[in-house]
Structure formats: C-alpha cells, structure tokens
C-alpha cells in the first residue's frame, strides 16, 4: 500500500511536469491528511484500548477545463465509522465559459440554506451524506442594462449513508433534484427546488422502502444594509407495506426558516426564525431511525449561536428538526474600532404537549392542540431551551487583546410518563480570554472559563462546578504550544475523574505541511457541528497528524 501511494504521488507530479512542458492549460494538486491516535477510551468508568490510523490523499488534475479527482484512503482502524482501504470520492468535472458545468462521480451539494438538500462531510464526527452520481448546472446573465441572472441545476445519484451513531447501519437513497434560481432585479433572488428520493432503510433486518417528495421555495432580498431571506419546504413520505408496516403509511411535514438582518451606523441586528415540523409524532413513537423523519440529505439552519467556548459547548442544544420551533436574535454594537459588544438570545421548544387518555395501565397519547404553535413555549411539557449570551471585545493596545463573556443556558427534556423525572440542565458560564504580544513574532494567549451547573436528575448533589484553563504560546509563523486543563467537582462524572490535562503542539514545516501532536486526557461529551451531534467518548493518550498540500 505504501508503494501504491508513492507511485500515485509520482504520477501526479510527473503529469504536472509533462503538461508544463507541452504548454497545455493544466494543473495538478495533491493534499494529504494523516491522523494517528493511540491510547484509551472510556465507556463510563470502563477503560478500553483505542487506536486509529487514517491517511487521506486527495488529488486533482485539471486539463483545459476538465478536472479529474479522487481520494485514496486508508482508515484501518478508523476513529469513527467503518474501516476502509482503497479509492473513493472519484469524479470528473467540466466547466465551460458559457456557464455550463458537468460533474460525474462523488460530490456534495447545498441548495439555498439546506431545507430540502444539504449533503456534506464532517470527518471529525464520522458523518458523510455525499452523492455518487451526475450534476449538470448552468449559470448565465441575460441583458446588459438590467441584467437577469439565471441558475439552473439537475442532479441524480445514490447516497449510502452510514449512521454516524451506529456505523454498521446503512441507509441507501436514490435521489433526483431539479433546482432553478432567478434574479429578475439586482436585489431579489427567487429559488424553486424539487427533490425526489427512494430510500431503503434497514429496520429489524428488513428493508423498509420509503418514497419522498420534497419541494421548496425560497426568496432572498439583499440591500447594502438590509437582508431578508425566507424558505419553505414540504415533505411527503410514503412507506411501502412490509412485515413491519402492514399497511401503507403516508406522512406529511414541512419546514420554514427566515432571517432578517439590518445594520446602521455602529449597530448590527439579526433575527432568525425556524419552524420545523418534518415529522411531528406522539411521544412513544419518536425514533432517530423512523422512515418518516427528516431524511439525512436535509440539514436546515439551526438558528442557534455557535460557540467557541469549551465549557459552553459541553451541553449543546440538540436541534430536533422533526419537531422544533424557535429562533434567535443578535445585536452587535461597535462604539469604536477597539471595542465591540455582542448580545444574543435564543429560544426553542416542541410544538405541542400531550396527555395520556388511557385510564388503564397502558398508554394512549393525544395531542393537545394550540393555535399559537408557531411560537415557542417555555412550559415544561414542551421541552423548552433558552440561552442568553453577552460578549465584549477590547483591543487595549497593539499588544493587549481582551474578551469576556457571560452565558446562561437552560434546557429541559420532558419525561411524559413521569414528569418529576424530567431532566433540567441549567448552566452559567463566564469565559475570559487575554492575548499579549511579547514581540512581533511571539504571543501568549490565556483562557479561563468558570461554569456553575445544575442537573435536576442527579442522585446526590445536583449542583457542581467546572473549570477550564488554557495557555498558548505562539511563535509566528510556525510554532504553537498549548496546555489545557479542566477540573470538576461533579460527584457523578461518568468516568469518576475530576481532572483532565492535554498538551498540544503544532509546527508548520513549510508552506505546504503542518504537523500536530497532542498527549494527555480529553473529557469527551456531546459535540455538535451544523446541527449534527454525536457523543464522543473520553480519551487519553497520544495523537499525531500531518496536513500537507502540493
């Protein structure tokens, strides 16, 4: 395998040299990511050996507008997902000056903001919904004085989605899409999309067939200081009868997202609203694998603030795209170039509450209708979440930078059977960051975070504290050295540990390559990106990686 990778690299470098000698319009590029880890992983307080070895080589060769690309991968063993050795993510793409482009092979795609189609890869979370098929797109401006911009696209292909929580469970989809976008005037864009898919979902060792229609309409109005966006999609799923579903099942759902931004003088204001109803169902029928849920190739905006604070992200809100309404509002104020403030508030909840109408020992839930279901509720049966976040940044001088924040979060997971056992997690977090330039090349960065937390279902002490400290030394342009420490007095920490430490170092070898190494212990927990969340087990040990591009 090493010989194969070496021959592959030599081939691309040789192609690049040969084409340059022939004076063709050609270019070749290769990027490589190598990752290795060895240590131990914790499941509760059980310690198990953990090792992974991954090497991904992505190569592109472009000749007169035609691009050939592929990925050579060794993931054996992989950190998250299924082991793989060989070639994948291969494609050929052609772009013409007339605005026509064609791609065959593997690709990712997002339409507008992703309500009907948003397929992507997130390697750190073991998530990939890429399409293997064909995409044809056309973009053209018509007219000169008042030009009209037209974008059209059709695509089709297959998605083999390996569940990032249970990788051995694979869902297969055949997907077709037609999309058109037109700007009749400079500031206005209208979009229309239609997605059709036929999915095969493994349910109790039986393939369940689900056919889905998903049309979407969106609008974008953009001025220099005012932006408005709105999108609506409607989902209809038909589940074919089998041993599990004795009769045909038809399920309908929809989703709406809107964003308004306005900036004036030294202020900026943004408001996001979401109303996702892709599969509202009874409390005893909720499942992450049910065939009528929002499908993996969808991924709308979360309408939540994305945090960089370590402790704030320890308890992220997991968006339920099947049943969630809410939004966020954010205000940015910069009185001068050295000082800025950010205030963000967000809220989310389910649409309805339910009651058990069975007087016997069984359960039979009935939904309680409410006229204002388009507004989030903070009442317990709606599993509410809310957050208030404030932040200030100050450049005291050319050498000193200071940032401080305050975050207050509250989330409730309602227990329909026993409401007194509902889990409420409340946190108050204060992160502080200070940067000091020792010289033109050397910088120290200190981060301190303090968090007070309360979990209502703890058996013993329900209130506990978390502390995070980080110190980084940076020497421009090639060295970063970091020491992270974390403490807790949580008596019910699953691993039984109270202290974690981690050292990290990165070195920029040259303009093309950077090496990263770390050793120590990581607390783990729930990690989210683009609305995708997975539980990452605590890890202690050694990690090493090299990123290169040529």
Asked if 214 and 194 count as a contact pair (C-beta separation under 8 A), the reply is: yes
CA distance 94 to 67: 6
Has residue 19 got a pLDDT over 80? no
The better pLDDT of the pair 355, 3 is held by: 355
Angle at 537 between CA 389 and CA 126, to 5 degrees: 85
Of 43-52, 168-177, 227-236, 352-361, the least confident: 352-361
Q: Give 1's pLDDT tier (boundaries 50, 70, 90).
A: very low
Q: For residue range 111-133, list pLDDT tens digits in order.
A: 999 999 999 999 888 899 999 99
Q: Kindly provide the residue ranges of all beta strands, DSSP E only, lying in 19-113, ordered along the sequence.
A: 26-43, 46-63, 66-75, 84-95, 100-107, 109-110
Q: For residue range 384-425, list pLDDT tens digits in order.
A: 999 999 999 999 999 999 999 999 999 999 998 889 899 999
Has residue 250 got a pLDDT over 80? yes
Q: For residue range 47-106, list pLDDT tens digits in order.
A: 999 999 999 999 999 998 899 999 999 999 999 989 999 999 999 999 998 999 999 999
Question: What's the pLDDT at 44?
Answer: 86
Q: Which helix (H) or strand (E) holds 527?
A: strand 525-529
**Per-chain mean pLDDT for the chain:** 92
Q: How far is CA 117 from the centre of its chain?
A: 14
**Percent share of the chain, pLDDT over 90:** 77
What is the rounded average pLDDT of the residues 483-506?
94
Q: For residue range 35-54, list pLDDT tens digits in order.
A: 999 999 998 889 999 999 99
Q: Classify 44 as helix, strand or coil.
A: coil
Q: For residue range 312-330, list pLDDT tens digits in order.
A: 998 899 999 999 999 999 9
What is the rounded average pLDDT of the residues 347-356?
95
Question: What's the pLDDT at 527?
Answer: 85
Question: What's the pLDDT at 144?
Answer: 80
Q: Give 22's pLDDT tier (boundaries 50, 70, 90).
A: low
Phi, psi of 240 (to 5 degrees): -75, 140
Question: What's the pLDDT at 354?
Answer: 94
Q: Kindly provide the residue ranges of all beta strands, DSSP E only, lying in 114-264, ordered along the sequence.
A: 118-119, 121-122, 127-128, 131-142, 148-162, 170-185, 188-203, 206-222, 226-239, 249-264
Has residue 203 got a pLDDT over 90? no
């Amino acid at each position: 395998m090493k010989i194969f990778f070496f021959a592959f690299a030599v081939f691309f470098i040789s192609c690049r040299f040969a084409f340059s000698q022939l004076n063709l319009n050609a270019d070749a590029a290769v990027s490589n990511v190598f990752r290795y880890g060895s240590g131990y992983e914790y499941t509760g307080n059980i310690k198990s050996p953990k090792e992974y070895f991954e090497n991904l080589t992505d190569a592109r060769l472009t000749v007169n507008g035609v691009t050939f690309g592929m990925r050579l991968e060794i993931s054996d063993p992989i950190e998250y997902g299924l082991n793989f050795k060989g070639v994948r993510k291969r494609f050929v793409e052609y772009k013409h000056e007339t605005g026509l482009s064609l791609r065959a092979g593997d690709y990712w795609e997002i339409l507008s903001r992703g309500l009907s189609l948003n397929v992507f890869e997130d390697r750190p979370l073991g998530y990939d919904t890429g399409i293997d098929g064909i995409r044809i797109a056309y973009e053209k401006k018509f007219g000169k004085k008042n030009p009209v911009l037209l974008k059209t696209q059709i695509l089709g292909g297959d998605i083999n989605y390996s569940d990032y929580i249970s990788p051995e469970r694979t869902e297969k989809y055949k997907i077709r899409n037609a999309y058109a976008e037109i700007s009749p005037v400079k500031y206005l864009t209208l979009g229309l999309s239609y997605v059709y898919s036929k999915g095969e979902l493994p349910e109790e060792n039986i393939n369940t067939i689900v056919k889905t229609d998903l049309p979407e309409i969106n609008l974008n109005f953009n001025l220099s200081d005012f932006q408005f966006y709105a999108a609506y999609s409607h989902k209809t799923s038909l589940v074919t009868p089998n041993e599990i579903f004795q009769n045909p099942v038809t399920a309908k759902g929809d989703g709406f997202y809107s964003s308004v931004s306005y900036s004036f003088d030294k202020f900026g204001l943004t408001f996001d609203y979401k109303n996702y109803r892709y599969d509202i169902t009874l409390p005893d029928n909720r499942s992450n694998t049910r065939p009528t849920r929002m499908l993996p190739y969808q991924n709308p905006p979360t309408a939540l603030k994305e945090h960089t604070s370590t402790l704030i992200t320890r308890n992220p809100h997991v968006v339920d795209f099947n049943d969630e309404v809410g939004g966020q509002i954010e205000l940015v104020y910069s009185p001068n170039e050295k000082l800025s403030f950010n205030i963000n508030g967000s809220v989310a909840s389910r649409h309805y509450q339910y009651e058990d109408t069975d007087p016997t020992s069984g359960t039979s839930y009935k939904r309680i209708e409410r006229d204002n279901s388009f507004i989030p509720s903070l009442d317990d049966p709606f599993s509410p979440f809310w957050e208030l976040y404030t932040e200030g940044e100050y450049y005291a001088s050319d050498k000193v930078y200071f940032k401080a924040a305050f975050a207050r979060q509250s989330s409730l997971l309602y227990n329909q059977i026993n409401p007194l056992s509902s889990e409420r997690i409340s946190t108050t977090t204060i992160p502080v960051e200070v940067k000091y330039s020792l010289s033109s090349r050397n910088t120290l960065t200190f981060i301190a975070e303090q968090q007070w937390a309360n979990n209502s279902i703890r058996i013993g002490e329900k209130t506990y504290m978390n502390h995070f400290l980080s110190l980084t030394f940076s020497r421009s342009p090639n060295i970063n050295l970091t020491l992270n420490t974390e403490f807790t007095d949580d008596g019910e920490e699953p691993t039984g540990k109270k202290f974690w430490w981690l050292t990290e170092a990165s070195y920029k070898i040259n303009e093309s390559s950077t090496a990263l190494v770390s050793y120590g212990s990581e607390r783990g927990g729930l990690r989210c990106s683009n609305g995708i969340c997975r539980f990452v087990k605590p890890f202690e040990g050694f990690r090493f990686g090299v990123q290169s591009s040529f």
